[in-house]
């Protein structure tokens, strides 16, 4: 396993992040435990979750599963850098969502209880809250840091200007501010190259791409379809939308002698702003297979070919659309 610093911090995390969204809805407790145990064995020390994962509002099923796994001991908590999130609705009350100081405090305490730990290593704002001032958000986060309940603060699904706004406000308070941003980023979704990635680079944030395989379509979806694997309707629509590109991509990966999923992850890892793509295995085999991406060295010609198949926005703003 390879490790890197999380943004501008001194915290080292694995180059692959274990996503846990499948824990509960698609992987039961025993299967989830086995995946987390194997992840640690393979050197994956960075786990990502959220207080709304588990598909049952207010219950935090996924966090509960991780908490029960931590409670087994054996150094599980000590070896894991755990990241969770706040914003999503945890109840039906008017203050049971978003980023008011009240909700941040309650949500943090609830996550700590479910995770059976005394601190969250990376506490991420799951979305921007346009109605809560940064003075209120940062004051709430500062209190959590002072209490030792949170070590680092990150964002998710922020625009580039939100990152700038957040960290400029934090700077005025002599607070560290955001150290990471979790964004949708993969070969077919490259919008963040316009302003989010430049903002991360300027402010020293580590980028944590979610859905690195584009909902599975970059994982050899065409070949799987011919072999009779069933897919949900949204995925089928995405495959049809990108069919021409995927045909070129899978054929090129075959020439390369690599699996499409591994190439997609390797492409992300080549970006110096990327800390760790989030992988969400449902099985031990899927987890082990992802490690191949760390060994793939994409040449400049390979990167150029990928740009030809999946053209991005043209670089960063404003050069991507202006002279």
List the catalytic residues: 53
d(CA 253, CA 66): 35
| Nearest of 203, 213, 201 to residue 274 by alpha carbon | 201
Between the CA of residue 207 and those of 170, 178, 212, 297, what are the distances in Å?
19, 11, 12, 20
Question: Phi/psi zone of residue 294: left (φ > 0), alpha (ψ -120 to 50 degrees), beta?
Answer: alpha
Q: Name every residue whose Cβ is closer than 8 Å to that of residue 240 and which is 6 or more positions away in sequence.
A: none
206 in Cβ contact with 163 (< 8 Å): no
Map tokens 């964002």 to a residue.
155
Peptide bond into 44 cis (omega under 30): no
Beta bridge partners of 122: 83, 152
Considering Cα of 43, then 45, then 46, then 48, what sign does the dihedral take?
positive
């Amino acid at each position: 396993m390879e490790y890197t610093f999380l943004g501008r911090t001194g915290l080292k995390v694995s180059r692959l992040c274990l996503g846990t969204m499948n824990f509960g809805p698609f992987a039961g407790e025993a299967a989830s435990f086995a995946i987390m145990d194997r992840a640690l064995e393979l050197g994956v020390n960075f786990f990502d979750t959220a207080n709304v994962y588990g598909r049952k509002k207010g219950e935090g099923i996924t966090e509960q599963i991780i908490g029960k796994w931590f409670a087994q001991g054996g150094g599980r908590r000590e070896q894991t850098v755990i990241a969770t999130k706040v914003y999503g609705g945890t109840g039906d009350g008017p203050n049971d969502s978003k980023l008011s100081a009240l909700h941040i405090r309650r949500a943090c305490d609830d996550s700590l209880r479910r995770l059976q730990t005394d601190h969250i290593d990376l506490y991420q704002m799951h979305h921007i809250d346009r109605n809560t001032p940064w003075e209120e958000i940062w004051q709430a986060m500062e209190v959590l840091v002072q209490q030792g309940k949170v070590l680092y603060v990150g964002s998710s699904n922020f625009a580039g200007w939100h990152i700038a706004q957040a960290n400029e406000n934090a700077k005025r308070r002599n607070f560290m501010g955001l150290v990471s941003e979790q964004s949708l980023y993969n070969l077919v979704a490259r919008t963040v190259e316009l302003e989010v990635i430049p903002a991360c680079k300027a402010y020293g944030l580590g980028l944590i791409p979610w859905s690195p395989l584009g909902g599975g379509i970059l994982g050899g979806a065409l070949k799987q379809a011919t072999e009779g694997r069933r897919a949900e309707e949204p995925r089928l629509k995405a495959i049809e939308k990108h069919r021409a590109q995927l045909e070129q991509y899978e054929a090129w990966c075959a020439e390369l002698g690599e699996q499409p999923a591994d190439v997609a992850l390797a492409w992300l890892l080549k970006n110096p702003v990327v800390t760790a793509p989030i992988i969400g295995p449902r099985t031990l085999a899927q987890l082990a297979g992802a490690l191949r991406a760390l060994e793939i060295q994409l040449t400049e010609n390979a990167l150029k070919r990928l740009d030809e198949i999946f053209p991005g926005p043209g670089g960063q703003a404003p050069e991507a659309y202006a002279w």
